Amino acid sequence: MSERGRFATLTLVLLVAVVISAVINVQRIEMQLLAAAQVALSSAGIPFYGVEVDGRDVSLRGFVPSAEFASRLVSTVSTVPGVRAVHDETVVERVASRRYPVVAGLVPEMRIQRLGSRVRISGLLPAGGTAAAWVDALSSRFDPRVLESALQEDPRVVDAAWVREAEALTDLIAELGSGGVLAIRGGIASLSGIVAGGSQRDRIVERGRSIPALEWRFDLFSLDGSAGGGGA
The reply to whether 210 and 114 lie within a common domain is yes
The reply to whether 110 and 188 lie within a common domain is yes
**Is residue 159 included in any domain, yes or no?**
yes
Least confident of 35-44, 60-69, 97-106, 111-120: 97-106
DSSP 195: E
CB 208 within 8 A of CB 214: yes
The reply to whether 217 and 115 lie within a common domain is yes
Give the domain extent around 122.
Answer: 106-222
The reply to whether 198 and 124 lie within a common domain is yes
**Is residue 232 included in any domain, yes or no?**
no
Q: How far is CA 101 from CA 65, 94, 133, in A?
A: 15, 11, 25
Backbone φ and ψ of 64, nearest 5°: -130, 155
The reply to whether 152 and 188 lie within a common domain is yes
- pLDDT digits over 21-52, tens only? 544 555 677 777 777 887 787 777 775 556 77
The reply to whether 135 and 76 lie within a common domain is no
Number of structural domains the chain divides into: 2
Residue 56 pLDDT > 90: no
Which of 31, 64, 92 is where one domain is finished? 92
**Is residue 200 included in any domain, yes or no?**
yes
- Residues in Cβ contact with 199 at an 8 Å cutoff, skipping those fewer than 6 apart: none
The reply to whether 118 and 85 lie within a common domain is no
